[in-house]
Amino acid sequence: MPEGHTIHRLALDYGTRFFGRATRVTSPQGKFSAAAALLDGAALTRTEAHGKHLFLCFRDAEWIHIHLGLFGKVTFGDAPAPPPTDTVRLRLAGPTGYVDLRGPTTCALIADAEKQAVHARLGPDPLREDPDPATAYARIRRSRTSVAALLMDQKVIAGVGNVYRAEVLFRHGIDPYRAGRDLTPAEWDAIWADLAALMREGVRHNRIDTVRPEHTPEAMGRPPRVDDHGGEVYVYRRADQPCHLCGTPIRTASLTARNLFWCPTCQRT
């Protein structure tokens, strides 16, 4: 679930549900209890996302810094809130609804200086205002590391995860093992623009769809398919299945402890 689009969507959704109202803040699971007690009854005044980091501002002063990690989940519901299960790290509850956070890697109360430090160590995020893709390209062009690894490095570009990484490389016909320094400016421009567009759609629909209209099963006269992670994709988690475009079995390999997926025919260079 959690790539950058999810987090930006959460920033919007927390806001629409809780802005400006006194909110009950609790931590049934316990690990955030002390901070929750300090915030209890305060109003949510701003929300913000940078890459996979979510920031909730209370009283225009204090921030909850949330990172979902691999397992974190957020569930929204209408009032009355049911009794929380014992894994709920953070619950916000108001007169009309509630939201539960489970399993985050990070859920911490921080001040502005610490928040700035988080921004400082993240690369440009295609979903933020005014990101600077040239900063990312500057790092890529002087690196011998593979493009696939660089796209997942949040210091290089913030918000791309394993799905967008695999899919954008497929869409541009790029071999995931190509060194960053061999990526041309034109290729980078195209990748960045594509990521921005795909991720915006991701925020809109709250899922990742990367298959072009002309390649959908309907357009290609094939039976409809449903990928088990909820979106339509070319290669992600399709190991050994035929490529939608050329029929070659999709390959998979482990790269820096994550599964990489690509089509060896469509992504040759």
Position 146 contacts DNA (CB under 7 A): no
**90 pairs with which residues across the strands?**
101
176 CA to centre of own chain: 20
Which of 229, 242, 246, 247 touches DNA (CB under 7 A)?
229
For the chain, percent helix, then strand, then coil, each to nearest 5? 30, 25, 45
Which of 23, 26, 154, 210 touches DNA (CB under 7 A)?
154
Position 71 contacts DNA (CB under 7 A): yes
What kind and span of H or E run contains 31? none
Per-residue binding string, DNA, 180-219, x by CB under 7 A, is ----------------------------x-----------
User: What one-letter code names the amino acid at 26?
Assistant: T
Position 174 contacts DNA (CB under 7 A): no
Considering just the CA atoms, what is the radius of gyration of the chain in Å? 20
Q: Which of 3, 62, 187, 232 is catalytic?
A: 3
How far is the CA of 48 from the CAs of 10, 150, 194, in angstroms? Answer: 9, 24, 23
Position 23 contacts DNA (CB under 7 A): no
179 DSSP 8-state letter: B
Measured between alpha carbons, how far apart are the two ends of the chain, in Å? 30
Nearer to DNA, 9 or 17 (CB): 9
Is 139 one of the annotated active-site residues of the chain? no
Is 31 one of the annotated active-site residues of the chain? no
Q: Which of 24, 141, 200, 258 is catalytic?
A: 258
- CA 183/CA 175 separation, integer angstroms: 10
The residues near 153 (Cβ < 8 Å, ≥ 6 apart) are: 123, 145
Position 72 contacts DNA (CB under 7 A): yes
Q: Which of 17, 52, 91, 165 is catalytic?
A: 52
Please work out the total of residues on this chain that contact DNA, with binding judged by CB under 7 A: 35
Per-residue binding string, DNA, 36-55, x by CB under 7 A, is ---------------xx---
Is 218 one of the annotated active-site residues of the chain? no
Determine how many CB atoms are found less than 10 A away from the CB of residue 114.
12
Supply 5's token pair: 């689009």
Which of 96, 184, 248, 259 touches DNA (CB under 7 A)?
259
Nearer to DNA, 155 or 268 (CB): 155
Task: Give the interface segment with DNA, choosing from 32-40, 108-116, 159-167, 173-181 (CB under 7 A).
Answer: 159-167
Closest CA to 210 of 227, 218, 220, 198: 198
Instruction: Please report, as ranges, the residues that interact with DNA according to CB under 7 A.
Output: 1-3, 6, 29, 51-52, 67-73, 85, 87, 89, 102-105, 152, 154, 160-163, 208, 229-230, 237, 256-259
Residues involved in catalysis: 2-3, 52, 258
